[in-house]
Every structure is written in structure tokens, then in C-alpha cells.
Amino acid sequence: MRQSIILISGVNGEIGHGLVSSLYNQGIRNLIGIDLSTPDDFVQERTLDCLIGNILDHNLLDRINAQYQIEAIYHMAALLSTRAEFSPVIAHEVNVDGTLNLLDLAMEQAQSHGQSVKFFFPSSIAVYGIPTLEEKSSVGAISEDDYRHPQTMYGCNKLYCESLGDYYSHYYKRLSTTDTAGLVDFRSIRFPGIISAHTLPAGGTSDYAPEMIHAAAKGEHYSCFVREDATIPFMTMSDAIVAIEMLMAAPKDALTKMVYNVKAFNPSAGEFLSKVKSYYPEANIDFIIHDNRQSIIDSWPEDINDDQARADWGWSANHDLDKAFSEYLMPVIRSRYEHN
Ligand code: AKB
């Protein structure tokens, strides 16, 4: 009999770390990670095994398929928005083909063991594309069906993969006689920028906020690459993990959507800096605008409407901007950098 496991792709990344930590603290001991790089000790100590490899490698996925019985997949591996603009074709391969491979693995597994496989997919506010700054500031909080005109390769990839999730959940091989509806139970959240106290992001465009606070804590100079008035939604990593767990635990019949917005706070870069300075008055941070990265931020919404997540699975963020600093970021960041 195959061992029952939960599979996490991109386990060594930012959300991977947060997820492993939280699932392990709940007593879950059957986590298997995949990552391109060898995961750090924190991840290795909390997982049953970590496979070093690529989600594009069919031999690796075949081995996982043969060896394990998969209950759920958390598919975190991705190239983020800035990095994807430098290598759009590679980004498409990783973000789209990688997701397709894991959806296919979920379907094969569900067909072989006869139970549905839950599939979590982190989507992003990058699926939205607002044409002008005037419209961005006048439009208010935007809902899941609004403005789905991504301007980045990453946003295009995320939006398309949401549709693939819908296809695998509801319409997979609909011309065959086998009924596959519901075998893959796809659930997704469109995340805003995420700020972790423990790790730094790599290759995203919302990275300026976490980079600011970590640089200030380390006493390093930092040049923020967007204007002071640039505004998008953010949340803490701790709230992002809570959101994933709440959505994955929700009864299926309570869900009216496959993809949900969630939000917490939406400071401008200047407001975020003021908050950083209230803890680190000596912070050496200036603004040197990178026009192209700025244009990506300008296309993302200032605010999003998460009413449906609140109504369907009781979502509400624990951290507003003040609490994000006082209850989550500062206690961890202080002890982390003061001991180095
Ligand atoms: C990025 O900046 O690419 C990500 C995102 C908003 O999805 N953090």
C-alpha cells in the first residue's frame, strides 16, 4: 500500500516555508516537498522527504505517482512577476506547464485511489490589469471578475492556470465516458503582496515593502524602486497561511467560487516607509524609481474586494498595518537581526 502524503511544490520558497511550519505545528507529519534547490534545515526537519528536482521533470513526477498516495497538493513553485519579465518563455514553462503537470498528477492520483485530491493554487493580484493610474485611483475595491487583463507574463500565467484548475475540476475529458468531475478539488486565492518576518521574497514586484523593513532592521541602505504614492494591497505571511488553511478546510458546498480575493491593508510605499521609520528612525531608505517595475505596480489594483471569501469561508485578516508591525513583523525581525 502506498504511503498517504501531502505534496508541496516550491517548498523552499517563502510561502512553502510558512506552510510547512504551520502544517507541522498542527501535527501533520506526512509532508513531501519538491524544490529546485536543497531545502534548508528548517524545512527538512519538518518534512518526511524533500525531492530536489523540477516540476517539469516527468520522470520525477512519475516516481512520486508510483510511490505515494497523494491527499492534497499545495503548488507553490512559480517564477514571480519581475523575474518572469526577464525570461517570459521560461516563466511560461514553469508557471503554466508546471501547474498542468501537477494538475495531471492530481487527476491520475484521484482516479487511482478513488478519492478527490485537493489542489491549492496561489494566484495573485497580478491577474488584474488597470489601464491608467486615474482609473486605478477612482475605481475602488475591485472584485474577482473585474479587470482581468494582466499586463505581465506572470499575471497571464496565473489567470490561465485558474482556468486550468476549473477545467480539471469540472470538465476534464468531458467526451470520454468516465465521470471525472470533482476528482480534482481546485481552490485558489489571489494574493496581494506578502510580507514575511522570516524570509525575503525573490523576483516579485511587490518586494519593495518586505525589502524596506528587512533592510532597515539590518541597518542597510535601501532604494525603493517605486514612487512614494505607489499603492497595492499587502498582507502578512502569517495571514496568508491562515487564508490557505481556512480555504482548504472549508466544506466544498460552502464555496461559491474556485478563486477568491483576500485583503488586509493597502499602504502607499511612503506610508509603509513611515511605519518602518516609526520603529527604525535611522532607516536609510530613498526612492529611485524603476519605471518599468513602477508600471507593473501601477497596473495592479489599489484595493480589492474580498466579500466573497468573508461570506463563504469566514475570512478576515488578523493583521492590519499596525498589528502587522507590532504583533508579527517586529517581534520576529528584532530577535532575528539583533542576534546576528
Ligand atoms: C509578485 O510581486 O510577483 C508577487 C505577487 C503580487 O504575486 N508577490
Residues 129, 60: Cα–Cα separation, whole Å: 36
Instruction: Convert the pLDDT of each residue in 64-123 to its tens digit.
Output: 999 999 999 999 999 999 999 999 999 999 999 999 999 999 999 999 999 999 999 999
Indicate whether residue 99 lines ligand 1 (CB < 6 A).
no
Count the helices and strands in the chain (H runs, E runs). Answer: 15, 11
Q: Whose CA is nearest to atom 4 of ligand 1?
A: 204
User: Is there a domain that residue 71 lies in?
Assistant: no
- Alpha-carbon Rg for the chain, nearest whole angstrom, is 20
Residues 157, 52: Cα–Cα separation, whole Å: 24
User: Is there a domain that residue 154 lies in?
Assistant: yes
Please determine, for residue 340, whether its predicted confidence score (pLDDT) is greater than 70: no
Please determine, for residue 339, whether its predicted confidence score (pLDDT) is greater than 70: no
User: Is there a domain that residue 183 lies in?
Assistant: yes
Indicate whether residue 205 lines ligand 1 (CB < 6 A).
yes
CATH number at residue 103: 3.40.50.720
Residue 177's pLDDT is: 85
Instruction: Convert the pLDDT of each residue in 120-149 to its tens digit.
Output: 999 999 999 999 999 999 999 999 999 999
Ligand 1 site-directed mutation target among 95, 188, 205, most atoms within 8 Å of CB: 205
User: Is there a domain that residue 98 lies in?
Assistant: yes
Residues 88, 221: Cα–Cα separation, whole Å: 31
Length of the chain: 340
Residue 178's pLDDT is: 86
Question: What is the average pLDDT across 262-287?
Answer: 98
User: Is there a domain that residue 287 lies in?
Assistant: no
User: Is there a domain that residue 54 lies in?
Assistant: no
> Domains in the chain: how many in total?
1
Residues 118, 98: Cα–Cα separation, whole Å: 17
User: Is there a domain that residue 224 lies in?
Assistant: no
Q: Whose CA is nearest to atom 1 of ligand 1?
A: 204
Alpha carbon of residue 151 to chain centroid: 18
Please name the helix (run of DSSP H) or strand (run of DSSP E) that holds residue 181, with its range, or none: none
Angstrom CA distances, 169 to 118, 143, 234, stand at 10, 22, 29
Question: What is the average pLDDT across 211-217?
Answer: 97
Owning domain of residue 128: 78-195+235-264+302-319
pTM of the predicted protein model = 0.97
Residues 16, 189: Cα–Cα separation, whole Å: 15
Local structure of 49: helix, strand or coil: strand
User: Is there a domain that residue 103 lies in?
Assistant: yes
Instruction: Convert the pLDDT of each residue in 282-298 to its tens digit.
Output: 999 999 999 999 999 99
Average pLDDT of the residues of the chain: 97
CA dihedral of residues 284, 324, 14, 222 (deg, nearest 10): -10
Ligand 1 site-directed mutation target among 15, 76, 80, most atoms within 8 Å of CB: 80
Contacts of 148 (CB under 8 A, 6+ apart): 127, 128, 129, 159
Query: Strand runs (DSSP E) across 243-323, as ranges?
Result: 259-261, 285-287
Indicate whether residue 80 lines ligand 1 (CB < 6 A).
yes
Instruction: Convert the pLDDT of each residue in 23-72 to its tens digit.
Output: 999 999 999 999 999 999 999 999 999 999 999 999 999 999 999 999 99
Please determine, for residue 264, whether its predicted confidence score (pLDDT) is greater than 70: yes
Q: Which of 164, 196, 201 has its CA nearest to residue 75?
A: 164
